[in-house]
Amino acid sequence: MSEGMGLAKSAGALAGLKVIDLTRVLGGPYCTMVLSDHGAEVIKLEPPQGDEVRDWGPPFLEQATGERDASYFIGVNRNKRSVALDLAKPAGRAVLLRLIESADILIENFKPGTMERWGLGYAADLAPRFPRLIHCRVSGFGADGPLGGLPGYDAILQAMTGLMSVNGDPSTGPLRLGTPVVDLATGLFSAVGILMALHERVASGRGQYLDMTLHDCGLALLHPHAANFFLNGIRPLPMGNPHPNLAPYQQFTTATGQIFVAAGNDGQFRKLCQHVGRPELADDPRFLDNASRVANREALAEQLGLAFAGQDGEALCQALLRAGLPAGPVLAVDQAVQAEHTAARAMVTELPLDGGGTYRALGTPIKLSRTPGGTRSPPPRFNEHGADVLAGLGYSDAEVQRLRDDGVLHDTRRR
């Protein structure tokens, strides 16, 4: 493998696992990228029109073929092989079934009921034929309940699960989080669930079905707001940067920029006050313990703000961190990805490409000592591996060409 940054240095903890990925957009592809970073073979089956996030730009990467792929696609589809297959056609489903014969995991995010209409439902069709298969379905709301079968997108679920209601501040009202946190969390929860099912399969020898929804995963992110509501019955409101249960835990202005400071216990608060030259604040009756500080958060923020105002924020954060106190500068995205510690942790991966240029993306945060994962190959072009994958299944050149002629295998995207 070429020398680069954040590249896989081992076969990976999941080497030998085969994943058939029928997902598009973000939640499912993010899950399969996590698995692929750690050695799973992921075959991404795209519909004839391709994964629609190839068009979610600008910015775009222009391909030598004249096609272009958006950064949205590039960021979550490395280490995969692309096959463009029309599953609406019986011959396409026949190829899928042949792929599943040697697969451990099938993950899809079709509208609930689609796989069943195709004769590919887990309970009735796949489990009897492939008893060791783990089938993960990612959907908006699941198949049952009042919203069962309805579509879901990240922002819609941020709205419906209460996440937007606790983001922002009183002046903004409910505010969408700047990252698609529900999609990303669903991908992560799906990866966790798949690994649980794999572990259980060691003992039972049997696969199982995972019913993963954006709705459930979005709700699962509501801590501590849901926990607070369950205990006090009060509707949580958006507070901006402060924490509903801790003080100080917010952003402050310094002479050189914004910083974020937190104190998780009374000892940390006392130490913070000493460090910024205001030891008397720790003995103020309004600030003696966390409950008092929360009740008097505005007065506390005013006093700390005065203490921080004339200081060099970066230097102050370094000093506080080295003293064991949580603090950090508020960085923009470009600053964060170019930070020295980001490079030291290989959290930006760079892979030189054979035709010139470099693939750059966020690296894997999962650091394993004996079987480290990382980037193995760049995101695939549309159907880049179609002929090779089918040849590996035993299809002859003539059979592959027939699939092309019949509109089952697609070399270019349907527009």
Which of the residues are catalytic?
Answer: 183
The residue ranges of DSSP E strands in 127-271, in sequence order, are: 134-139, 209-213, 249-254, 257-262
Number of Cβ atoms within 10 Å of the Cβ of 231? 9
Q: State the Cα–Cα distance between residues 79 and 36, nearest whole angstrom.
A: 6
Name residue, tokens 């070399």.
411
Q: Which amino acid is at 151?
A: P
Q: Which amino acid is at 292?
A: S
Q: Which amino acid is at 288?
A: L
Beta carbons within 8 Å of 253's beta carbon, 6+ residues apart: 305, 308, 309
Helix (H) or strand (E) holding 35: helix 27-37
Cα end-to-end span (Å), the chain: 35
Tokens of 392: 């590996």
Name the packing angle between helices 27-37 and 181-204 (round to 10°): 50
Instruction: Give SS3 for 246.
Output: coil
Tokens of 178: 């700047």
Q: Which amino acid is at 395?
A: Y
415, exposed or middle or buried, with CB in 10 Å at 0-12, 13-18, 19+?
exposed
- Angle, CA 351 vertex, CA 346 and CA 357 arms, to 5°: 135
Q: State the Cα–Cα distance between residues 94 and 99, nearest whole angstrom.
A: 9
